[in-house]
Structure formats: structure tokens, C-alpha cells
Structure 1
Amino acid sequence: MDLIVYAVPFFILAMVLELFWGLWVGHNTYRVNDAVSSLFLGTLSQARKFITLGVGGYIYHLTAEHFSLSLMSSKSIWTWVLATVLYDFCYYWLHRLGHERTILWAAHVAHHQSEDYNLSTALRQTSTGFLLGWVFYVPMFALGVPAEVLVTVASINLIYQFWVHTEHVGKLGWYEWIFVTPSNHRVHHAQNDHYLDRNYGGLFILWDRVFGTFQEELASEPPIYGIRGPLRSFNPLRALTHIYADMFRDSWNAPRWRDKLLVWIARTGWRPAELAVTDPRPKADLNDFVRFDPPTSLAVRVYALFQLVAVVALLGYLQAGVLDSYAASVWFVVAMLLTTVTTASWIEGRAPWISLRWDLLRLGAFALGLVMTPGLGIFTGVAAAYLTVNVLFVLLLYWSPNAAAAAESMNTA
């Protein structure tokens, strides 16, 4: 059973409590722009499942049918215990190689782009991990772990990882030696030299201690969150594709065929020597690190939260299973993606006329899709109301900055 859907109310409540606790103690770890960006990526990762084929599921079916040892039964408690441990062991190697090999890092990088560290960061998930991630769980397929056991322990593992994405829990004594905790996972999300590429476990930190990738959080070196090649964008499409785009460009421009292939399988950060000179990609200077935080108005922040609610509502409609065609599901996911991209334009502080243009195009496409998709029932009325409110909202966002600029100009004169 996939328990993620049932955990969503808990996730929301926990984020609200963390926000208020941070405000209460004077250490707020949330910014609207960054948190909305993370949650957009989380909703897109869930929506992706409705329009992509599960390669891993098909491989599981073939393995279970023809190659499985069928050693386990879902009725045995030992099956559940072994599956929990084995899943985390497989996850450790997926996670570790997800940092050490560029093709896997391209999928995982979205989770590390946030320059904040809070519970919303936990939900900042990739939408492309399904392409290769299943490879690491083939041993579980071969041992005959029942499908319902595998899905359940996978969701438990992911739910466990949610709570460790916080700055408000310190070290936990003996617990730190066995399990992943907020302290040792803060190390994992840090880009400091001392912390880079450490602490890969999902449930158990024991794997890191055994395989030499453990690093304790040091009081003398506070973590600096984010990635070395900062994205400096809240655009989810860029977040999900920028490493793939870099690899493709390097592979295309590499002068030697050997290097064209190596780009895809080499250790993360490797590039052909010639390209490192002609097309350098500077890394962040951690001695003078500044988070990407373009100034935005209160209206823009409210608009971003409004769109977050809309995207979550679209996801909920998808998950309700009321759509009766694949085309309708694709339209919903595209609508979600376009909404997140245009909202990112506003919260990145781009010129209002640019954001307005793209937002109106999105709303036009949304309206056209609404007309061409029959059988939506009550959703049609809700969507029409959303469109009306959205048009008024974007016009307000467009005119407000211009009005402020005009007033400032008049005062200066």
C-alpha cells in the first residue's frame, strides 16, 4: 500500500507547526518563494505518475514471473523486517550513486537545490527518477519480495525521511548511531567542503558508518544549503532539466567520441578539459554565499500561495481518479506545469510585462483545454471561477509595480 497520500495531511500540519515554531523562537527557516518552489516540485513529482509508464513496474512483473526466487511471504513478519532493511540498503546505493554519477545526479539534483532547510525541502522531489532508479531495487524483485510489501516499505522509508528535514531538532544521542536524524541529514544537504557527499542513508545511518561516507555535524561549521552550481531560479522546469541540458551540451560539444560518451557516465562534476576552459561553469563562493532571494511584493507572495493551492487541487482531482481519458490526465499535468513555471516568473522578480504575457497565455491555454475536455462536471464551474480570479490577480500584479514606479518617479521629480 502506498501510504504517501494518507501522510499528506500530516505533512501540511507539520510544516505549519514548524513555521509557527520558528517564528516563536526567532529562527524562521521559511521563505515563501523557496517553499512554494519546493512544494511545486513535490506536486509535479506526484502528478508525473499519471502520464508516464512505470518501467520499474514492468521489470518487477517480468522478474516476479520468470526469475524470482519467491522466498518471501507478506504474511511473515520477517519478510517485512528484511524488506525494510534491504530497501534502505538499496536506497543507500541509489542515493550515493545519485551524487557520484552525473546521469543519476541529473534526476536527484532537484531535491538539493533549495537554499533553505525545512520540512518543505523534504517534499522537493524529482520527476525523472523513475527513468533509472528502479535498477537499484532489482535484487528485491529477484528475492521475491511481494509487491505490496515493497510498495509499503518504500512509502514508510520516504515518510520517515520527511521529519529529518528541519533545523529545529538537535542531536539525539545514541539514536544518531543507528538512524538518520535531522543533524546528520543536515550534513547531507550542505555544500560545505567538509560535508559534501556524505550521509546517504534513508532510514539507517549505519550504511554510511560501514561504507565510510558518514560525517557528523560540527558546531564549528554551520551547514550552507544548496548546490555548488547554484540554479538561481525557482522555475521547476529548469530545476528538473538543467543537469540533463548541461550533459547534452557537453556531449554535443566534446571533440572526442570517448568524451561524448563519458559525459553521461562519468563521476559528477567531470567535464572534457577543453570545455572546462571554453565553457566554464563557476561554482558558488561559500566564503561570500548569498541565497537567491529576489525581492517581491506581498501581492506576489499571496499570488504564489494562491497558485500553490490551485496546483494541489489539480493534483487532488487527478488522484481522485475521476478523469476517464489519458488525454485529460495529460492536460491536467501540463496545466500544473505551466502554472508552476509562470508563477516562478513572478516570484523571481522578472519584468511585470514578461510575467503577465506568459501568465495570460497560460490562462488562455487553460480555458481552451477546459472547453475541449467534456465530462468534468462541477470542476468546470470551479475552473471558470479560478480563471476569473486569476485574470484579475495578474492584472493587479502587473499594474501595482508600474503604479509604484510612476509614483516614485513623480516624487523624484
Structure 2
Amino acid sequence: MDYILYAVPFFFVLIALELLADRWRGVSTYRFSDSINSLSAGVLSTTLGLLTKVVGLITYTLAWEYIGIFELSADSLWVWLFAFVFYDFCYYWNHRMGHERNVLWAAHSVHHQSEDYNLSTALRQTSSGFLFSWIFYLPMAVVGVPPLVFLTVAAMNLLYQFWVHTRHIPKLGWLEWVLITPSNHRVHHAQNPRYMDRNYGGVFIVWDRVFGTFQEELDDEPAIFGVTTPLASWNPLWANIQFYVVLWRDAVRAASWWDKVRIWFMPTGWRPADVAAKYPVEKPDLSRFVKFDVPLTLAQKVYAGVQFALYVVLGSALLGLGDALTLEQALVGSVWMAFGLYCIGIWLENRPLAKTLELLRLLFNAGFLWLAIVTQIIPHSALLWWALLSYSLISLIALYWTPRPVEARTA
């Protein structure tokens, strides 16, 4: 059972309730483009997961079958409880190393790029974390935790983390000593020097207290969210490769071959001495921190919101098909999804080529529908073609009548 898929409607209901809480309290924890960007990263991650999740599953299953020391039973409640706690312990180290090593931070930084903090931020997930994250969970396979148990507690751990991404819940008394709460997870997402690289647990804060990485949220120091190398973009594809590009550029610039190799595995922020001297990087002054934004008209926001809603629905449909998809089918779906989300990101950035890309996206939709029919992702249906034609015509009319804001035209 795919618990994440079934949780999607509840995620959006809770986001709607948080928006109501914003209005009731007279605050604004959401910005349109930032929220769409976070959700786009999440949709992209789950879609590409159709292609990449097999990496972790195969490695775990092979380790469990061939080097497992014990034979733990999935019928035992104690095994489930043990696995739930053990998973969070492994998650702590996966998460911590994701902040402490360059190449791991390149993947994990996606989750931290939002300069807002709300429930949509929880859904902002990396698409490249599969490259190394599986390593940290092999100890569970070695001690004999069955794959079914592993996959289930992993989903439960991820689902738990959703609710802590909010600014509306204060400190929770004694629970702050045991569990990850909204308060101590706000600390984790902050870029304040005092707060950075703290509170790594997924469910339990105990690991942070034991291993010296705990930091309490302080009343006299509000959290400033985001990363010290700002994304400054609403493009979910760029969000996933931004820090890889930073590392690649420094590796190319380095004179030493040893530096070119080790930069990927050094502590986060480490740069070769010659590169750092020639290409210095200034860290932002948080006392003058300004969130990245691009002005949009209401019409532009409505257009982007409607188009994105379509991708959420169809992305959920792809996720629902899951294991029934062949590699070819998953590839077609992933390419279609990635291109569409890229176009929406460019639209939100109000770039000159945004309307041209939208025209291409609408034209390509016919090609992707044909591929979906050929690869039997969906059956051939005249109704689908008429629906696509109607959608495309309505979108084209809306595209024509959606002006760019004056600020963008005169910039």
C-alpha cells in the first residue's frame, strides 16, 4: 500500500486549514509562487521516484536476503516497534550527513530552499536523494528487518514529519524533550548561525540531545528561513541541480586534481583554497534579508494555479499506477511531468520566454498523450482527445489574454 498517495488529499486539506488559520490570526505564512515551487518539487520527486525508488528497494532487499544476521518476523509487534525506532535512528544520521557533506547537501538542500515555512514546505522534497540515502538504512537490513516492515515505517516516519512544518503551533511542553515538534523543527529550517545544522531527528528529538545537535527555539531570535546560498528561482529542476552546479564549477576551477575529487565529500561549504581566494563567496547579511520574489498579476497567478492543479491530479494518477507501470511508461510520465513543471516555474519567474514555452508545452501535450496511449499507460479514447483539445484551446485563450505586469515589461 502506498501510504503517501492516500495521504495526499489530507495534505491539501491541512494546507487549506493552515491558510484559514493565517487569515484568522492576521498573518501570512504563504506566498503563492513559493508554495507552488515547493509543491512542484514534491510532485517532481514523487514522479521521478517511479524510476528511482527501485535503487533503495533492491539494495535493501539484497542486503536483507544475503547478509541479514537475524530473521525478524513481520508478524511481531515488537519487530515493528523496534523498526520504527531504528529507522528514525538511521534517519538521524542520513539527515545529519545530508547537512555535513557537500554532495549529500546538494541533494537535501532542496528541502531547505524555501524562504517561507508552512505545510507546503513539508512536501518540498529532493529528486536526487536516492543516490546515497539507501546506504544509511542498510543496518536495518543487516539485523533482519523485513522489507515490508522497512517500507512501512519509512512511510510512517515521512508522514509524521508533515505536521511539524508550521508556524502556528507553539512549544509543546514536555513533548519537546522526546519528539520532533514544530518548534524544534523551525530551528532546523532556519539559516540563523545559532540555529543552523541542528535538530535532525525525524520523529524523536532524543538523538539530537544525545549526540549534541539539539538547539531550542529562542524567543529573542526569530528563525529566518532558507539557505545561505539562495535559490532565487521558482524552477523545480534548477532547485534540484543548483548546488551540484556550484560544486561542479568549483571542481573545474580547482588546480589540484585531488581537490577536484574531494570537494564532493568534504564538509559542507568547504572549497579549494585557490578557488576560494579567486572566487570569494559572500554570505548574506541576515539583518538585511529580503525574500526572493517576482511580481505577478492576479491573472498570471490564476493561470499558473490552474495549470499546476492539473499536474497535481495527473501526478497523483501516475503515483497510483505505481508498480503497474513499465520502465518505458514511467519514463514517458516523468519527462512529461518534468517539462510541464519547468514551464510553470519559468512562468512564475515571468521570464520573456514564458509564453513561448507555454505554447510548446500545450503542443507537446498531444505528443505525450499519444505516447501514453502507445505505451498503454492509458487506453485510447476519443473522449480524451476531445478533453485535451478543449483544455488546450481554453489555455491558449487564457494565455493570450494574460498580460505581463508593468514592472516586468519595464525592467
Normalising by structure 1, we get a TM-score of 0.93
Q: Which residue of 1 aligns with 2:343?
A: 342
Q: Which residue of 2 aligns with 1:37?
A: 37
Structure 1 residue 299: Cα displacement: 0.9
Whole-Å separation in 2 of the counterparts to 1:53 and 1:123: 17
Letter of the 1:396 counterpart? W
* Distance change >3 Å, CA 372–CA 171, structure 1 → 2: closer
Aligned to 2:284: 284
- Deviation, 1:382, is 3.1
**What is the identity, as a one-letter code, of the residue corresponding to 1:390?**
S
Q: How does 1:100-111 map to 2 (within 5 A)?
A: 100-111=100-111
Residues 174-183 or 257-266, more deviating: 257-266
Instruction: Output the CA distance in 1 between the equivalents of 2:325 and 2:175.
Output: 48
Asked if 1:229 is matched to 2:229, the reply is yes
2:394 equivalent to 1:395: no
Whether the 8 Å contact between 1:2 and 1:151 is mirrored in structure 2 is: no
Instruction: Compute the displacement of 1:279 (Å).
Output: 2.5
Report if the CA contact (8 A) 1:198-1:213 is conserved. yes
Is 2:300–2:404's contact at 8 Å kept on the other side of the alignment?
no
Q: Give the letter for the 1:343 counterpart.
A: I
| Residue 360 (1) aligns with residue 359 (2) | yes
Contact 2:296 2:404 in 1 (8 A): no
Whether the 8 Å CA contact 1:54–1:130 is kept in 2: the answer is no
Separation (CA, whole Å) in 1 of partners of 2:116 and 2:15: 13
CA contact (8 A) 1:342 1:358 kept: yes
Moved over 6 A (4+): none
CA-CA distance at 1:291 after TM superposition: 0.3
- The equivalent of 1:331 in structure 2 is 332
Aligned equivalent of 1:274: 274
Offset of residue 241 of structure 1 = 0.4
In the other structure, the counterpart of 1:96 is 96
- CA deviation map 1:294-320 (0-9, x unaligned): 111101111221122111122122134
Gaps of 5+ in 2: 374-378
Give the aligned residue type for 2:389. Answer: A
**1:124 corresponds to:** 124
Q: What residue identity is the alignment partner of 1:181?
A: T
Instruction: Kindly provide the CA deviation profile for residues 76-107 of structure 1, in whole angstroms up to 9, marking residues without a partner as x.
Output: 11101110110000000000000000110011
For the 8 Å contact 1:230–1:283, the answer to whether it is kept is no
Find the counterpart in structure 1 of residue 251 from structure 2. Answer: 251
Distance 1:153 1:49 in 2: 18
Deviation per CA, 1:159-206: give whole Å up to 9, x if none.
110000000000000000000000000000000011010000000000
In the alignment, which residue of structure 2 is the partner of 1:383?
388
- Cα distance change of structure 1 residues 44 and 305 upon mapping to structure 2, 3 Å threshold: same
Shift of 1:53: 5.9
How far off its partner does 1:146 sit?
A: 1.1
Cα displacement (A) at 1:341: 1.3
* Aligned counterparts of 2:392 and 2:282: Cα–Cα separation in 1: 42
Partner of 2:309: 309
Greater shift in the superposed pair: 301-310 or 373-382: 373-382
Q: Which residue is equivalent to 2:376?
A: none
The one-character-per-residue Cα deviations of 1:229-255 (angstroms, maximum 9, x if unpaired) are 101001011100011111122222210
Secondary structure of the structure 2 residue equivalent to 1:39: helix
Q: Deviations over 1:122-180 (max 9, x none)?
A: 00001111111000000001111011111111111111100000000000000000000
Classify 1:58/1:23 alpha carbon distance in 2 versus 1 (closer, same or farther; 3 Å): same
Please say if residues 314 and 332 of structure 1, whose CA atoms lie closer than 8 Å, have aligned partners that are also in contact.
no
Contact persistence 2:83–2:145 (CA under 8 A): yes
For 1:251, the aligned partner's letter is A
Unaligned segments of structure 1, at least 5 residues: 409-413
**Counterpart secondary structure, 1:69:** coil
Question: Counterpart of 2:280 in 1: which secondary structure?
Answer: coil
Q: Is contact 1:122–1:162 with CA below 8 Å preserved after alignment?
A: yes
Q: Distance in 1 between matches of 2:371 and 2:209?
A: 56
Percent identity over the alignment is 47
TM-score when normalising by structure 2: 0.93
Q: Distance in 2 between matches of 1:39 and 1:324?
A: 23
Q: 1:83 to 1:376 in 2, by over 3 A?
A: farther
Q: Structure 1 counterpart of 2:347, which letter?
A: W
* Counterpart for residue 242 of structure 2: 242
- In structure 2, the residue matched to 1:78 is 78
Shift of residue 3, structure 1, vs aligned partner: 1.5
How far apart are the structure 1 equivalents of 2:124 and 2:372? 30
Report the AA paired with residue 358 of structure 2: D
- What is the aligned residue count? 402
For 2:86 and 2:371, locate their aligned partners in 1 and report how far apart those are by CA, in whole Å.
Answer: 47
1:119–1:163 CA contact under 8 A, matched in 2: yes
Please state whether the residue corresponding to 2:294 is helix, strand or coil: coil
Distance 2:303 2:285 in 1: 33
CA contact (8 A) 1:48 1:333 kept: yes
Give per-residue Cα distances to partners, 1:254-311, cap 9 Å, x unaligned: 1001101111100000011121232333322101000011111101111221122111
1:300 maps to what in 2? 300
In 2, the alpha carbon distance for the partners of 1:120 and 1:132 equals: 25
Which residue is 2:156 aligned to?
156
Note closer, same or farther for the CA distance 1:384–1:282 as it changes in structure 2 (3 Å cut): farther
After TM superposition, the structure 1 = structure 2 runs for residues 106-255 of structure 1, keeping only pairs within 5 Å, are 106-255=106-255
Q: Is the 8 A contact 2:61 2:147 kept in 1?
A: no
SS in 2 for 1:132: helix
Q: SS of 1:87's equivalent? A: helix
Aligned match of 1:411: none
Distance 2:281 2:294 in 1: 22
